[in-house]
Amino acid sequence: MSLSQLSFDLASLQAAYRQGTTVLDVITEARRRSLADTHHAYIHVLSAAEVEPFIARLEGVDPASLPLYGVPFAIKDNIDLAHIPTTAACPAFAFTPDDTAFLVRQLLAAGAVPVGKTNLDQFATGLNGTRSPYGACQNAHNPAFVSGGSSSGSAVAVAKGYVAFALGTDTAGSGRVPAAFNGLIGLKPTLGLLSASGVLPACRSAETPSIFALTAGDAQTVLGAAAAFDEADAYSRPAQPLGVDFSGGPFRFGVPRPQDLAFFGNEAATALFASAVQRLESLGGTAVAFDLTPFLEVAKLLYEGPWVAERYIAIQSFIDAQPEAVFPPVRSIIEGGGRKSAAEAFAAAYRLKALRRVCDRVWRDVDCMLTPTAGTIYRIDEMQADPIRLNSNLGYYTNFVNLLDHCAVAVPAGVLASGDAQGLPWGVTLGAPAHKDIALLRLADRFHRALGGTLGATASDVASTPPCNGLPSGDLGTAGTGAVRVAVCGAHLSGLPLNHQLTSRGARLLASPLSAAEYKLYALAGGPVQRPGMVRAAEGGAAVALEVWEVPAALFGSFVAGIPAPLGIGKVKLADGSEVPGFICEGLGIVGATDITHFGGWRAWLAAGAPR
């Protein structure tokens, strides 16, 4: 395969390096593709001289020793790369930083090589990609349509195959809408996982750098390399265990009620969302309708409330001195932020706190939620003719996510089959509480593979890439899953009196196996809730019906503390020979108990007429 045909997904790059391709070869090809761009994806492509030090630092390094060895990437031009101008898509504002953003330094240390700074809606204010003096960024699949924004150029650079991944930022959907419109994975991580040091903020308290990638596995690798606690960033926070991993199923996913869905007249998108629900069900999910209206009220707070004042604070001295240098739609939004009062800020903060309490109730019933990423897509000329209203439509499903401290992954969901935008990609978003990023990426990967198709606007197919599994490197891998498996045999089984002690802790049922044929089961004396005792027997044992649950590690201690004698947690051997923590009984506990081994399990004994 020639370099011009090389796919820049990570697996293909790693294979090329194993076969002797050099970093210089790959980066030269990435620069060639980037310099040939006609979609206004870039503000600045690094020259051969500018990129040479990043290549030189990899000389003599074993490609297998770095997770992103020789991987070309692009950087949204509100994120600093030392000695390269940061413009935020405003030439009058541009400056050349002496330091590289903390986030970018993590990627460089992992072996990645920057290729260029990408175009964006000016000062990251917009969801459409047309608000830039460097040209309206064009959709990777059809240049007449918007690319999505504000991280427009980053998405197009990945979708066109110029680079392997790109950094964006996300306050209101800027890391997700462009992914949907260009057929990519768009990861909006948990707030604080990626440092914002060296990032020009749009809304500092509710913003995060984001990642565009061809596959969910690639996004996970990049996240693993980039996520690190930054003492200098007041909003940085360490990675936490992801807890119960619902990605393998069975799982429950929230879907907005039919009356809450909005597709703005796009019937093809309506059909694709219905298909997306069915696809997620085919992967082991159960759809649960939820009320989207409180989430939409949160969304209004982001632009109609005082949070817009953060945009004004970020560039206050500049916009006060040179308002004419700012695009009119951007200027009207940012200047409006300067008129917000402290009283409005506190009133909105109180309202957000109350709404978050309401919105968080959805997690009692579901593991994740599924929404469209954007209800529809628009032509560039349509957007420029009606920039405020149509841009607002694009944020219908995205504006609430950061204010509620959710993580989210945009994933391709098919191609629009009719209408003006026929043939363009369309996507959905999977959302979950903070620190569920890895579970969402794994589920997004399964969804993407079930859909099939090409990666972005390239000729490469998702089926040719390895699945997303395992834990990433770095802080996220160290945090681990944070879950403990436990086998239950009696009153904690699904639907029985003590099962709530598991479900109230967010535990998830994994399987219903049999134990090894080495146990005796007894109905213990006492109550009020009658319980069994399972004892490993030297002879005369049998297989016992069990359930294996996954319990968040942080809550496992309180669960165990509530177990009364003679019961406890030990190792239970399953029929397949593996062992898992589970309920066992002390030998003295079976004195006076009834041997019910021949029933094969607690449920069978109950069904035979035993008292509950």
Domain boundaries, the chain: 3-479, 483-607
Q: What is the C-alpha separation between 598 and 612, in angstroms, rounded? A: 18
Q: Which residues are catalytic?
A: 76, 150, 174
Share of the chain above pLDDT 90, in %: 90
Give percent above pLDDT 70 in the chain.
Answer: 99
Lowest-pLDDT choice from 69-78, 91-100, 565-574: 565-574
Secondary structure (3-state) at 364: helix
Position 440 pLDDT exceeds 80: yes
Which band of pLDDT confidence, cut at 50, 70 and 90, is reported for residue 189?
A: very high
Q: Which pLDDT score is estimated for 612?
A: 46
Per-residue pLDDT, averaged over 111-123, amounts to 98
Q: Spelled out in words, what is the top-level CATH class assigned to the domain 3-479?
A: alpha beta
**pLDDT for 28:** 98
* Phi, psi at 316, each rounded to 5°: -55, -55
Alpha carbon 68 to its chain's center: 20
- Least confident piece of the model among 195-199, 401-405, 560-564: 560-564
> Is residue 56's pLDDT more than 70?
yes
Neighbours of 347 (CB within 10 A): 13
Cα→Cα distances 224→17, 193, 218, 227, Å: 21, 10, 10, 6
Q: Which pLDDT score, from 0 to 100, does residue 242 have?
A: 87
CA distances from 585 to 511, 534, 592 (A): 22, 6, 14
Calculate mean pLDDT across residues 563-590. 92
Q: Span 318-347, mean pLDDT?
A: 95
498-540 tens-digit pLDDT: 999 998 988 888 899 999 999 999 999 877 888 999 999 988 8
Angstrom CA distances, 47 to 82, 87, 225, 507, stand at: 14, 17, 25, 53
What's the whole-number mean pLDDT along residues 352-357? 98
Was domain 483-607 assigned CATH 3.40.640.10? no
Strands (E), 85-144: 113-118
Which whole number is the average pLDDT over 233-260?
94
Query: What are the Cα distances from residue 573, in Å, to 218, 531, 540?
Result: 37, 20, 16
Q: Per-residue pLDDT averaged across 487-495, rounded?
A: 95
Please give the pLDDT value at position 243: 86
pLDDT tens by residue, 257-309: 999 999 999 999 999 999 999 999 999 999 999 999 999 999 999 989 999 99
| Residues 124, 107: Cα–Cα separation, whole Å | 22
Question: Residue 464: which pLDDT band, with cuts at 50, 70 and 90?
Answer: very high
- Does position 1 have pLDDT exceeding 80, yes or no? no
Does this model's pTM top 0.85? yes
Residue 341 and residue 349: Cα distance in Å, rounded? 12
Query: How many C-alpha atoms does 276 have within 13 Å on its Cβ side?
Result: 30
AA letter at 308: V
Q: How confident is the model at residue 611 (pLDDT cuts 50, 70, 90)?
A: low
Task: Give me the phi and psi of 10, to 5 degrees please.
Answer: -60, -40
> Cα dist. 340→172, 214, 320 in Å?
19, 40, 15
Neighbours of 261 (CB within 10 A): 18
pLDDT value at position 135? 97
